[in-house]
Structure 1
Amino acid sequence: MPSRRTVLTAAAGVLAGLPVVGSATASLAAPPAGAGSPIPDTLARRVAVNARGRVDESTFPLTHLAVGWTGAPEGAAVRLRTPSGWSDWRPLHGCDGGRDVGGDTGRRALLTVPGGIGYEVTLPGAGTVTELNTVDGPTRTTAAATGSSLTLSTRRIGRPYLSRAAWGADESLRFTADGTERFPAAYFPVQTVTVHHSAGINDDPDPAATMRAIYYDQTITRNFGDFGYHLAIDEAGRVYEGRWSGSDRVPIYGGPLGPDRRPQMNNAAHVGGFNAGNVGIVLLGDFTSRQPTAAARQSLVYVLAAVVALGGLDPLGTTNYVNPISGATRTVPTIPGHRDWLATLCPGDLFYPQLAGVRQDVADLLG
């Protein structure tokens, strides 16, 4: 009788040719700019905040705000100023990523604020606000085409896919002024796959612009050196390449095959202290009080199925994780949420209980 690992590995082949998200979900978020569309430089300004701060008029129109603070995950709030006046106060729900060594490890929330011209924040402790505009800067390059499917090592997933070149990652941000790579690649066998939400935002009106905002905030403001997650999924079910993993254009994986001849993942920065061997997938949105769209959830299941199959992992099992760099250990579900690792609200109070159903869907898809 075949082992569970044999069944999972063989069943991964069913992922080929899965349906692409259709027109019924396309209206949930504006489609990314097509091939050859201009990609602007990101405009950014960082402001220090001592528990409370207010800016009545920013130096440029805002598309996003990245708010960071120390202390408790609860208690942070923001209100926005637009040409029509001030909004009501809204709580901030952070996704607290981080590198295993170095980089900011405080609370962080990123908000989509189209039309924003000012803001006021109240925080549990000292913090910073990074003002961002990812759509109005001078043109830096043009977008590559959106793919009709995503290739993960030897597996193909039939979902629309945007490489870093398609959503407009500025690769120069990964390097210091003297050309040193901020977060050099390091490859490890996959032990687990963690689910996040981006928190504080949805992906309207332009999910590619939101990807550029997350990228700048994590790479520069938070000093991660690159996008912290391996993949992102928007509300229409499109999949985005996150962390750079090599020059072969295949996300997540790179370097030599592992000791068991399976593909290895590049280390990223999404669960501080527990990154090496831990693939991070983020859904664009805040699922504290709402669920992901059906299209996003379906793409998540397909991607998770490919990753656990390639790693020979049991989606319904647990993992005795060992960080191959530091030796830190933790026993978690093989497909955990961020809060299974650390004290955080991620991936949202409403969505987190649904992860058991996601795991079952992955297992059903695989056999």
Structure 2
Amino acid sequence: MKIDEVLERAHVVALPMAVKFRGVTTREALLIDGPQGWGEFAPFLEYGAEESANWLAAGLEAAFTGFPEKNRDRVAVNGTIPAVPAGKVPEIMDRYPGCTTFKIKVAEPGQTLADDISRVNAVREAVLATGRTPVLRVDANGGWSVEEAIAAAKVLMPLDYIEQPCATVEELKEVRMQLMRSGLFVRVAADESIRRAKDPYRVAELQAADVAVIKPAPLGGVRRVLELTQDLRDRHMDVTIASALDTAVGISMGLHAVAALPQITDDDELDVPPAAAGLATGSLFIEDVCAPRTITDGFLAVDNLTPDPDRLAALAATPARRDFWFDRVRECWQYL
């Protein structure tokens, strides 16, 4: 495989977001029509070439190598609630039929803890109204101090976990220790501290988190995710596989990662399914390169969607942005 072949197979698209997410209103991605399927290269714009090279490796794996064998044909998913007013929560939840696990964005700049409480309670009450038990995760994207994280956990619980409450691994460890000392059963999950770290195992070595949020694109692809997941499980960490604001093409990578996870059992020899994955993010886009995936009773089928040619044309980025993404590929190539 040579870089010229990759670029010849590439399509650059710009997808409008339904709701501002991570500060993004238009999601750009370079899609690769490879011999084994479609791959995606879409590192966030602030990422440098060395860090972005993992994203390129993941896209090349999907396009030129293909995915490992599946151990399951469908994947349980969580809904994602952006940092919207509580009154908008029901309409967003309607996009996730059958889901009882939800990830809720908190610690949004310009908002208050009271806003977070209202949003989380709106999700909790909506699930309870269906007669089912809510499983709620809150994601602060490193936006809290240790003290703010502890205070938030106390008023937001019960929670499955708080994801990346603080920016540093040391702060995550302190939050986890304080929660344990206080007798508060709220797990701590690490996302950026693994996804953007030179050493993704440091979180486990410092016992700074209970859960690792693993995203295939930033870590280099499905096979790398499977390797890392096994290593983290051996270190007594649970794993949630999630999207990095992927297009429909990138979501296929995440689905195949969950599908390829080995089946594990508990002490009673009962099967333990993978944690609900953060892969039902397609509704965050107004338009995507494929028809929307259907969530059925909280599950997505494991598939390989092929982008629609008309959608690719309609969503094509400007020539200037196409050149920008081609240059990013060239910059990252040296780090593969």
Q: TM-score scaled by structure 1?
A: 0.30
Structure having the larger proportion of residues in helix: 2
Q: Compute the TM-score of the two structures, normalised by the length of structure 2.
A: 0.32
